[in-house]
DNA sequence: TAGATTGTTAATCGATTAACAATC
DNA sequence: TAGATTGTTAATCGATTAACAATC
């Protein structure tokens, strides 16, 4: 079924979750896993997991399940994590620093290769072996390092301007942590990762 | 339509987005807003916005739109943000510190009132006027301060244990930043805010 | 009154789940 | 062979969007 076909966002968002758990199984030397097992651990319906994977190919064996290592390889390919993806981050505040230091965890081929900040007292600081650069260097650096994804961790007031600069520099996708909806051309993908929204929607479920 | 009725998660997640934008309008002294305006700014269908709000009451005026201040008040009530909600955080690493310092932004009545860490060298540190406490004090402190929401910013390996302690202490909802699915009793609400997942699903959309 | 915009019903669209033949 | 589990179709469920009468 590897045809061209719009895969729903919900499916795409589950793939990294599968990948993460498969990586754990790999570390534990588990060879094989069934959709049943996966579903139980990830709180998902097994049929859904099988269907998700089947959009991209026939990765399992009937009566057996999925080979862990093979499935890891396949999901990495699907998510384009089979080669290193250079990422840039703007906003060397607390959150930005946290994400940079997480770099180690971003093993699956995501690598923050440049950090920028508008404040001159931040510029030149070292974060996880990266020197913070001034905003003027954003565009040339992004082009030079072939950065494909941009992360925004600046205050809301500056987020749109940073997004514009990312777009002009040729970034293809943006992860925005600022609490504001940023507008970009259709061909650029934006994900919003705003934890105040997350926290406030949690409050609804309090008794 | 203020009946008891299961409101879908998708609806609840949009409410904080509305609230945030309405707060902006309020600051600009805008009196009234239509679902049309809202939809355009937030990239949502106007009909959807009207429907979302209509689950909770009749907040608009036909031919006019919604009174900004009144709608803010109503959404705050719906999200239970009309009184202060005490929040606790475990894990005083980079991410934890970032969230604590964000406290200022959490104006809408979410307040981090306690921070914990398992490492003795972290304990006693001051973050945003809060002293980091050792894990043994988690349960008594949470009960004393009536903490209702817990935030987890520890490594994946410790996240489940922290969640268990939150649950035992009487926390009602958890926001988990650790890259692992944590298991809790049904009556506890958990939201996962894992940015590696977010970043990896972005990669899918690269050309 | 004419124009605008809500609240709500009906229509559409899409995603999840159940069921089962195929097969390891 | 008997048991397990996939891939996939069909059934269900739920969410989004369109349309429009009500009304400010």
> How many contacts (CB atoms, under 8 Å) link A and B?
169
Whole-number Å distance, CA A53 to C1' C20? 19
Alpha helices, DSSP H, located in chain A: 9-27, 35-42, 46-54, 68-78, 94-101, 138-144, 156-169, 195-203
pLDDT for A158 beyond 90: yes
> pLDDT tens digits for chain B (207 residues)?
444 578 999 999 999 999 999 999 999 999 999 999 999 999 999 999 999 999 999 999 999 999 999 999 999 999 999 999 999 999 999 999 999 987 655 567 999 999 999 999 999 999 989 999 999 999 999 999 999 999 999 999 999 999 999 999 999 999 999 999 999 999 999 999 989 999 999 999 998
Instruction: pLDDT band for A207, please (50, 70, 90 cuts).
Output: confident
Radius of gyration (Cα) for chain B, nearest Å? 19
Residue B32 and residue B24: Cα distance in Å, rounded?
A: 12
Chain Cα centroid distance, residue A121? 29
The 10 Å Cβ neighbour count of residue B127 is 21
How many angstroms separate the CA of residue A160 from the nearest CA in chain B? 13
CATH class of this structure's domain A85-198: alpha beta
User: Is A95 annotated among the ligand-binding residues?
Assistant: yes
Residue B155 and residue B175: Cα distance in Å, rounded?
A: 14
CB contact under 8 A, B98 and A97: yes
Question: Which residues in chain B touch residue A175, judged by CB atoms under 8 angstroms apart?
Answer: 195, 198-199, 202
Q: Return the domain boundaries, chain A.
A: 9-78, 85-198
The partner residue sitting opposite B78, judged by closest CB among A97, A149, A204, is A204
User: If one looks up domain B9-78 in CATH, what number appears?
Assistant: 1.10.10.10
Radius of gyration (Cα) for chain A, nearest Å? 19
Q: Tell me if residue A12 falls in helix, strand or coil.
A: helix
Residue B200 and residue B129: Cα distance in Å, rounded?
A: 35
Q: Is the dihedral of CA B8, B12, B18, B22 positive or negative?
A: positive
**Location of structure tokens 């809408």:** B108
* Cβ pair A71, A46 in contact under 8 A: no
pLDDT of residue B206: 95
Residue A109 and residue A76: Cα distance in Å, rounded?
A: 9
Residue B176 and residue B78: Cα distance in Å, rounded?
A: 23
Choose between B70 and A207: higher pLDDT: B70
Measured from the CB, is B21 under 7 Å from any atom of strand C? no
Question: At CA A57, angle to CA A20 and CA A29, rounded to 5?
Answer: 35
């Amino acid at each position: 079924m590897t045809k061209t076909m719009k895969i729903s966002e919900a499916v795409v968002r589950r793939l990294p979750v599968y990948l993460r758990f498969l990586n754990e199984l790999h570390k534990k030397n588990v060879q094989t896993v069934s959709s049943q097992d996966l579903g139980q651990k990830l709180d998902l319906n097994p049929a859904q997991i099988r269907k998700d994977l089947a959009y991209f190919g026939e990765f399992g064996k009937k009566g057996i399940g999925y080979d862990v290592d093979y499935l890891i390889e396949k999901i990495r390919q699907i998510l384009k994590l089979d080669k290193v993806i250079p990422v840039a981050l703007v906003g060397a505040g607390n959150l930005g620093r946290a994400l940079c230091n997480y770099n180690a965890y971003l093993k699956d081929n995501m690598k923050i290769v440049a950090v920028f900040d508008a404040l001159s007292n931040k510029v030149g600081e070292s974060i996880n072996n990266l020197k913070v650069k001034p905003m003027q260097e954003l565009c040339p650096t992004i082009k030079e390092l072939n950065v494909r994804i941009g992360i925004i961790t600046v205050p809301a007031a500056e987020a749109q301007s940073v997004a514009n600069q990312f777009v002009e520099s040729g970034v293809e996708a943006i992860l925005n942590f600022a609490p504001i909806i940023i507008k970009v051309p259709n061909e650029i993908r934006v994900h919003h990762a705003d934890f105040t929204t997350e926290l406030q929607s949690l409050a609804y479920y309090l008794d």
